[in-house]
Amino acid sequence: MPETYYEIISFTGHVQGVGFRYCALQVSKEFEVTGFVKNLPDGRVHLELEGSKAQVNAYVAALEERMHGHIRKTERNSRRREAEFQGFAIR
């Protein structure tokens, strides 16, 4: 199975209780990405994405633009791996 681009992303700020996960789901429909988003107990939002590097970068840029004012910090870690996700989900 071919490898794909994969990122783990954490968003810090006022990102829970503002429709962030729903927005992440809606934005995913505009790009060729798969993965999931979930709230973390410490108040951050955790996002895992797979797709081409260009699609992942475009997705993150679009999400940051739509949630501007809520995100204080974005932490991104990437690597290549075999694809594991099908579709995009809120967990």
Name the token pair of 19. Answer: 């429709």
The single residue of 39, 57, 66, 76 carrying the catalytic annotation is 39
Is residue 21 flagged as an active site residue? yes
Is residue 72 flagged as an active site residue? no
CB environment 11-27: b (16+ within 10 A), e (fewer): bebebbeeebbebbbeb
DSSP state of 23: H
Across the beta sheet with 45-51, what order do the strands follow?
A: 71-82, 3-13, 45-51, 33-39, 88-90
Known catalytic residues are: 21, 39
